[in-house]
């Protein structure tokens, strides 16, 4: 299993960090976690192509996490660029279908992938869900951000990775991440913003879950002015990694 950090930032434009997007190669598949603005183009810098995405899992529907969804759907309609023949799976919280319906009202057929290509599965935003796709098992659980925010656990090849999406402190996320090899946690600011984690809170959550390694990500600019890993280390004694765009981590 391998994690590729495509975007470690937020919706704030930054030369250093792109909007959220994380590729996970596991079980012979490419699982992609969130698709923020500019992620499709950024993927190309790191050897990834949108035609390769087998599973697209969306944590929630804030623009910085789904901004490239319309360009993605639009681009699937052009065979000169999109070479995929087999279906891809899209996972999102229940209610995504209504959201997608409004996108189609706005853009019409231009955001409809070719027939049979998109396989949508809506997940319960208030409970643990599990989806098995070949050798990959994906589990979801609610987080403390919006009413329809999800975290995801990817299991394959005897390894496990958990991605928080956006969250405040969350018991359901602790349970989802229990014993994971790698936990990718948002760490938006060094000061408290409701619905997000500070570095010490991220460290405490990782310690509660008993994970192997912690990756801090989803940084607003103030985080680049402090040592977020050191702040998190006050609560978590394991390895802490500060995410950067293009970073690759093998589990």
Look up the CATH number of the domain holding residue 201.
3.60.15.10
Mean pLDDT over residues 141-167, rounded? 97
pLDDT at 80: 84
Spatial CA neighbour of 3 closest among 163, 202, 236: 163
Region 128-136 average pLDDT? 97
In this structure, are strands 248-250 and 2-7 parallel, antiparallel, or unpaired? Answer: antiparallel
> Cβ distance 217 to 185 under 8 Å?
yes
pLDDT score of 223 more than 90: yes
What was the pLDDT predicted at 128?
Answer: 96
Q: In this structure, are strands 136-142 and 182-186 parallel, antiparallel, or unpaired?
A: unpaired
Give pLDDT, residue 181. 98
Rounded Cα distance between 150 and 57, Å, is 9
Confidence of residue 155 (pLDDT cuts 50, 70, 90): very high
Interval 89-98 mean pLDDT: 98
Kind plus residue range of the DSSP H or E element containing 107: helix 96-107
27: pLDDT strictly greater than 90: yes
Phi-psi region of 113 (alpha: psi -120 to 50; beta: other; left: phi over 0): beta
Q: Contact at 8 Å (CB) between 185 and 206?
A: yes
Q: What is the pLDDT of residue 172?
A: 98
Which range marks the domain in which residue 48 is found?
2-250
Give the pLDDT mean for 190-194: 97
Query: Is the per-residue pLDDT at 121 higher than 90?
Result: yes
Q: Residue 92: pLDDT band by 50, 70, 90 thresholds?
A: very high
Evaluate whether 160 touches 180 at the Cβ level (below 8 Å). yes
Q: Number of folded domains in the chain?
A: 1
pLDDT tens digits, 59-90:
999 999 999 999 999 999 998 889 999 999 99
75: closest CA among 117, 34, 12? 117
Question: Does pLDDT of 96 surpass 90?
Answer: yes
The pLDDT value given to residue 65: 98
**Does residue 209 have a pLDDT over 90?**
yes
Give this prediction's pTM.
0.97
User: Which residues are registered as beta bridge partners of 240?
Assistant: 214
Query: How far apart are alpha carbons 26 and 142 in whole angstroms?
Result: 23
**Average pLDDT score over residue span 179-198:** 97
How high is the pLDDT of residue 81? 86
Mean pLDDT over each residue of the chain, to the nearest integer: 97
At residue 33 the predicted structure's pLDDT band, cuts being 50, 70 and 90, is very high
């Amino acid at each position: 299993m391998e994690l590729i950090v495509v975007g470690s930032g937020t919706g704030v434009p930054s030369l250093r960090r792109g909007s959220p997007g994380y590729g996970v190669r596991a079980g012979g598949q490419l699982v992609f976690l969130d698709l923020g603005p500019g992620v499709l183009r950024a993927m190309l810098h790191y050897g990834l192509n949108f035609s390769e995405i087998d599973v697209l899992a969306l944590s929630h529907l804030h623009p910085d996490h789904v901004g490239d969804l319309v360009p993605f759907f639009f681009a699937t309609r052009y065979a000169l660029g999109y070479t995929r023949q087999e279906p891809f799976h899209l996972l999102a919280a229940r209610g995504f279908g209504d959201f997608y319906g409004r996108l189609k009202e706005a853009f019409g057929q231009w955001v409809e992938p070719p027939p049979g290509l998109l396989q949508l599965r809506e997940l319960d935003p208030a409970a643990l869900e599990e989806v098995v796709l070949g050798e990959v098992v994906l589990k979801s659980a609610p987080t403390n951000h919006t009413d329809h925010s999800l975290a995801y656990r990817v299991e394959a090849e005897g390894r496990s990775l958990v991605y928080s999406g956006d969250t405040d402190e969350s018991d359901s996320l602790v349970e989802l991440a229990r014993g994971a090899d790698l936990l990718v946690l948002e760490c938006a600011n060094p000061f408290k913003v409701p619905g997000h984690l500070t570095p010490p809170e991220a460290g405490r959550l990782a310690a509660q879950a008993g994970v192997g390694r912690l990756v801090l990500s989803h940084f607003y600019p103030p985080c680049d002015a402090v040592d977020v890993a050191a702040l998190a280390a006050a609560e978590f004694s394991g390895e802490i990694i500060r995410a950067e765009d293009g970073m690759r981590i093998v589990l």
